[in-house]
Amino acid sequence: MQYALPLRSSARTALYRRVPTLLGQHTRLFSASATPHIHLWDHLPGEEIKEPREGLAKLKGKIREERFRRKPQINFAEHDRFDVVVVGGGIVGLATAREILNRYPDKTVAVLEKEREVARHQTGHNSGVIHAGMYYEPGSTMAYTCVKGAQMMYDFCEKHQLPVERCGKMIVAVNEAEHKEVEKLYHQGNANGVKGLEIYDSKKVSEVEPNVRAYSALYSPNTGIVDYGLVSETLAREIIDTGRADIKLAFEATRFDKLQDGSVEITGIEPAQKGPILSVNAKNVITCGGFYADRLAGLTGGNPHKDQVVTFRGTYYQLKPEYRTMVRMNIYPIPSGGGIPVGTHITPTLNSRRGHALIVGPGACFTFSREGYQFFDFKAKDVWDSFTNTSFWAFALKNLGLSFGELYKDINKRAFMRAAQAYLPDLTLDMVEHSFSGVMPQVFQKGGIAASDYILERKVLGGTTLNVRNAPSPACTASLAIGEMVTDTAAEDFGWPKIKR
């Protein structure tokens, strides 16, 4: 599959001509006695496949222009009654809505999203990695949907000509003790059906990524990168193009009532406004609220105290443009974090908004607001919910070093970079600049156990509603397969006819 180059070739040539001068400033790398470790690739990943930068710009423009412009065949303004309402316009909600529309040609669907665009939260602020599936317990829903979803994601991007690249990934062990984890992940990945895994020794690691120092590494050729925001916009376009669906933006669902006729009245408001009151009616409701999943579940009559969400900010730095090609593929450390996804990795990006970069991150710092993209973002209700969550405290106390370490890393660049320097020793603080941050929800269960699989809450509100309570990473990779899984469950719970996928 093709992806657009970050620079036109003339600009690129100019950049590479400047590289020695720029690197010359790093005397440690270019001291007279030592052979320089640093190696900047003379071509970028995927460069051999030519596609002009304008291709991406045109495609983006087309998607933005066409987005939501096409008239639905049904006049929803008059009716506002749907077979299904999906709450949440992140990738999980959109993939679910698309799957229902594709599988049931007579159903009408509305997606309600509180923001003014789709994919505004987790889906639009993440690493953009298509995970291959080594991390997950064999037999888990996560393992199955990740491996299947990754393939579906590559196919979807190919069909819609979206930028995507199978750039590969190495999970690196920096010492002999960590090598055991490499072996474990290798066997786990094979058990999950991940193709092409290989264990590299130190020499092979240096051959393929000269700037990486490792004792050994697990190499996965099928790990890739994509822009999940762009994928979501494309899903939204497909949904609208069915002519049987509506995407209602700036609609924050605040109340769900089961009516006498068995349908559900969903009432809402435009966020931060008092009115007018918005309403829409549906036979069935599916909520996919990301880090508001527990609150939405509570509104629909689900159990708000079980599977409560605590949020963590994942901050990223990025390599300055002249160092952007320091590594070519995803470089990940051995996973740590007592069950929560912690570990500073390096990832090339293909983001239509933020561009081509090499990002370093994310951290996992406790937030004082569910939408805590900055350290000082604060919302009393969110803090109260986290501080009264006994399962979270049980986890935090068991992992004190991790909790304070991540908090410190979030405000101290030197500490943040130390994690990446363990395997990229030539990375210096002046090579990086601030990038974006994302907020990830984590559900803690009794005894401080971090939930490690997707959670569905079924047959809520008199059997009309299904709540997706936990959809953390790799839910973007897996989204299309999750859409299938949620639709299967909805069909079973709501008595829809069984239709083969």
Q: Which residues bind ligand FAD (CB under 6 A)?
A: 87-93, 112-115, 119-123, 126-129, 131, 252-253, 288-292, 296, 314, 362, 438-440, 471-477
- Stated as kind and residue range, the H or E segment containing 188 is helix 176-191
Q: Please give the residue whose beta carbon sits closest to ligand FAD in the complex.
A: 90
As measured in angstroms, the least distance from the Cβ of 204 to ligand FAD is 25
Residue 440 pairs in a beta bridge with 312
59 vs 365, beta carbon nearer ligand FAD: 365
151 vs 206, beta carbon nearer ligand FAD: 151
**Position 69: which residue type?**
R
- Torsion from C-alpha of 68, 71, 72, 74, nearest 10 degrees: 140
225 vs 396, beta carbon nearer ligand FAD: 225
CA nearest neighbour of 101 among 487, 467, 492: 487
Angstrom distance (rounded) from CA 157 to CA 238: 13
369 vs 473, beta carbon nearer ligand FAD: 473
The bridge status of strand 169-173 relative to strand 198-201 is: unpaired
122 vs 216, beta carbon nearer ligand FAD: 122
328 vs 345, beta carbon nearer ligand FAD: 345
Angstrom distance (rounded) from CA 390 to CA 470: 18
As measured in angstroms, the least distance from the Cβ of 304 to ligand FAD is 13
205 vs 278, beta carbon nearer ligand FAD: 278
150 vs 182, beta carbon nearer ligand FAD: 150
Angstrom distance (rounded) from CA 87 to CA 212: 43
Angstrom distance (rounded) from CA 418 to CA 317: 13
CB contact burial 37-63 (16+ within 10 A = b; e otherwise): bbebbeebbbeeeeeeeebbeebbeeb
As measured in angstroms, the least distance from the Cβ of 22 to ligand FAD is 29
Residue 198 pairs in a beta bridge with 219
As measured in angstroms, the least distance from the Cβ of 72 to ligand FAD is 20
Residue 164 pairs in a beta bridge with 226
As measured in angstroms, the least distance from the Cβ of 44 to ligand FAD is 20
Q: What six digits make up the tokens of 441?
A: 């929800």
How far is the CA of 322 from the CAs of 14, 18, 32, 319, 353, in angstroms? 11, 8, 22, 8, 19
Place of tokens 């990754």: 150
Task: For residue 254, count CB atoms less than 10 angstroms from its CB and return exposed for 0-12, middle for 13-18, buried for 19 or more.
Answer: middle
As measured in angstroms, the least distance from the Cβ of 111 to ligand FAD is 9
40 vs 134, beta carbon nearer ligand FAD: 134
As measured in angstroms, the least distance from the Cβ of 285 to ligand FAD is 11
As measured in angstroms, the least distance from the Cβ of 284 to ligand FAD is 16
As measured in angstroms, the least distance from the Cβ of 90 to ligand FAD is 2
Angstrom distance (rounded) from CA 398 to CA 8: 51
123 vs 325, beta carbon nearer ligand FAD: 123
Angstrom distance (rounded) from CA 321 to CA 341: 28
As measured in angstroms, the least distance from the Cβ of 10 to ligand FAD is 32
35 Ramachandran zone, left/alpha/beta (phi>0; psi -120 to 50): beta
